[in-house]
Structures are given as structure tokens and as C-alpha cells.
């Protein structure tokens, strides 16, 4: 059997229950654990002899938390220290958490703005950036060898593994408050429609805008792993409802986030959709 684990620029993605399964996820995680342990031993490595802390997060997709717990279990069995976000978390929040916690990296179970049937496995380096091909290639090579050997870990019943958790929101929100002039937003007395796409951005962008003094109207802030039947992408069709709200005069403009809140869309005052990506 050939391994389906192949990393692109944003990690390994696959169809849930087809090639993105618990079996292959554990295989990828063990490949990562072997790669990290090798780096921890290597004298010239930036993580040489560091505390083996690995931040783990996930988006709002089907089985996201159970996949994250399965990855945490494999990392712990390998002698590493997994630390799981309390709830689904935006990709930029996970990136900052890696730096803030001085972790040796982070695992993010996300398929970003892909259709609802997909999930993904993304690894970020100690600086929070996505792992380069020379690193992910080692994960793939280890996974191929493990598969060929018939590697089978002993694991707890899915979803029952217990892992240390933390709330990444306070540190991230503090950082944003330092970077953004929230008072200027407050003085403008803005009415802003926020398209959350059933994703991880709720409690971040909407909360900060309200804190600043803006009047916020939320769209699709509830959890829905089907994302309303489409892809959680803040493109023209994804932001159509928020655009109509702006055109009706009920908001000055609209902001939208994708499923893992690392790309965004804007609807201008006249209802025109813009992309900054």
C-alpha cells in the first residue's frame, strides 16, 4: 500500500474517511515525531536540547478535535509534550502560540478553505511559519517506511485520550491590541458586518471590533462542519449575504474570514467584494 501522505505548501490534505483517516493521521504524526526527535538530537539544529513542547490546534471541521487528540496521543507516546488549544483555533493564533510558548513547533488539523469533506495536517516551525519541503519531506519518508513495516500503535478509544490544554486567546488578543489602533476604529463609530463562515474566527475579530466600539453584526458564527454545504471561503459568493446587508444600508462595510481565519475578504460601502489575498 502506498502512503497518501504528501505535503504541499499548506500541509497534507485529504478527504475524510478516504485518505484522511485516523490510521494515516497517526502515521503522519509518528513521522513528525521521528523527525522532531532527530532534530532535538542534532547539535546544529535550532531546537537542539529544547523542551519538546508541541502546540496542537484544529479548525471546526468534522472530527477535528478527535483528530487533534489522536495526534497528541502519538506525540506523547514518542516522548514529546503535546499542548492542545481549549477549542478550535485560527491558524494565526496557533502560529503565535508556538512562539509565545517557545514550542518546537505546532500541529494544526485544518483544511483551510477547502470544501467541507476535507481535513488536513499542517506543521509549523518554532517561528510559527509553515514547515518547508526539506522538513516535510522527512515526515513523508518516515511515514512510507512505517507503513511498509506495518507499524501499528496501541491507542486509546478515539476521543478519550486526555491531553494538557491551554487558552490561546488572551495572548493573541493582547498582541493584536498592541498592533492595531482600536481607538481609531471606535472614533469612526462604524457598523461592520462580520462573515465568520462557521469557522474559527469567532471570538477574535468580532470581539475585538466590539471592544473597539464598532456595532458588529455576525453572520454564520454557529458551528457547522458542513459550512452550509459549500467551502468556508470569503469570496464573492461566500460573502453574498453580508454584501446584501451592506447594500441595504445596515452596515458600512463587511469583513469575512475563511474556515481557519488566515485569509479574508472585504465588502466595500457600495457592496463591492474585494480580495486582499
Average pLDDT, the chain: 96
User: In what side-by-side order are the strands of the sheet with 191-195?
Assistant: 215-219, 191-195, 253-257, 264-267, 273-274
Distance of CA 63 to the CA centre of its chain: 14
Model confidence at 129, pLDDT cuts 50, 70, 90, reads very high
Residue 276 in this model has a pLDDT that exceeds 90: no
Model confidence at 275, pLDDT cuts 50, 70, 90, reads confident
Mean pLDDT of 20-36: 98
Q: What does the alpha-carbon distance between residue 32 and residue 105 come to, in Å, rounded to a whole number?
A: 10
Residue 33 in this model has a pLDDT that exceeds 70: yes
Residue 23 in this model has a pLDDT that exceeds 90: yes
Q: How many percent of the chain have pLDDT more than 70?
A: 100
Q: Supply the pLDDT for residue 53.
A: 98
- In terms of C-beta distances under 8 Å and separation of at least 24 residues, what long-range contacts does 234-237 make, across chains too? 234/195, 234/197, 234/258, 234/263, 234/264, 234/265, 235/265, 235/273, 235/275, 236/265, 236/273
Q: Supply the pLDDT for residue 277.
A: 66
Residue 1 in this model has a pLDDT that exceeds 80: no
Mean pLDDT of 147-155: 96
Model confidence at 9, pLDDT cuts 50, 70, 90, reads confident
Q: What does the alpha-carbon distance between residue 11 and residue 29 come to, in Å, rounded to a whole number?
A: 12
Q: How many percent of the chain have pLDDT more than 90?
A: 97
Q: Supply the pLDDT for residue 120.
A: 98
Residue 8 in this model has a pLDDT that exceeds 70: yes
Q: Supply the pLDDT for residue 64.
A: 98
Q: What is the pLDDT of residues 43-101, one digit of tens each?
A: 999 999 999 999 999 999 999 999 999 999 999 999 999 999 999 999 999 999 999 99
Residue 22 in this model has a pLDDT that exceeds 90: yes
Angle at 149 between CA 143 and CA 155, to 5 degrees: 70
Domains of the chain by range and CATH?
A: 12-168 (3.40.120.10), 180-274 (3.40.120.10)
- Supply the Cα-derived Rg of the chain in whole angstroms: 20
Amino acid at each position: 500500500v502506498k502512503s497518501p501522505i504528501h505535503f504541499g505548501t499548506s500541509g497534507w490534505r485529504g478527504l475524510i474517511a478516504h485518505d484522511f483517516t485516523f490510521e494515516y493521521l497517526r502515521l503522519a504524526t509518528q513521522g513528525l515525531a521521528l523527525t522532531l526527535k532527530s532534530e532535538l538530537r542534532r547539535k546544529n539544529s535550532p531546537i537542539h536540547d529544547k523542551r519538546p513542547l508541541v502546540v496542537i490546534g484544529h479548525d471546526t471541521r468534522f472530527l477535528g478535535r478527535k483528530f487533534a487528540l489522536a495526534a497528541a496521543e502519538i506525540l506523547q507516546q514518542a516522548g514529546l509534550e503535546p499542548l492542545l488549544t481549549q477549542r478550535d483555533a485560527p491558524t494565526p493564533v496557533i502560529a503565535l502560540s508556538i512562539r509565545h510558548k517557545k514550542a518546537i513547533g505546532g500541529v494544526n488539523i485544518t483544511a483551510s478553505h477547502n470544501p467541507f469533506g476535507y481535513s488536513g495536517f499542517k506543521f509549523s516551525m518554532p517561528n510559527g511559519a509553515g514547515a518547508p519541503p526539506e522538513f516535510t519531506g522527512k515526515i513523508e519518508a518516515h511515514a512510507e517506511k512505517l507503513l511498509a513495516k506495518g507499524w501499528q500503535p496501541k491507542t486509546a478509544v478515539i476521543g478519550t485520550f486526555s491531553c494538557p490544554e491551554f487558552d490561546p486567546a488572551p495572548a493573541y488578543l493582547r498582541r493584536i491590541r498592541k498592533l492595531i489602533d482600536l481607538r481609531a476604529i471606535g472614533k469612526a463609530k462604524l457598523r461592520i458586518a462580520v462573515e465568520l463562515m462557521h469557522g474559527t474566527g469567532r471570538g477574535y475579530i468580532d470581539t475585538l471590533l466590539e471592544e473597539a466600539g464598532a456595532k458588529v453584526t455576525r453572520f454564520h458564527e454557529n458551528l457547522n462542519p458542513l459550512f452550509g454545504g459549500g467551502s468556508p471561503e470569503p469570496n464573492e459568493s461566500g460573502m453574498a449575504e453580508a454584501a446584501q446587508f451592506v447594500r441595504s444600508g445596515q452596515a458600512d462595510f463587511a469583513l469575512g474570514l475563511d474556515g481557519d481565519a488566515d485569509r479574508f475578504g472585504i465588502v466595500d460601502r457600495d457592496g463591492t467584494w474585494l480580495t486582499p489575498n
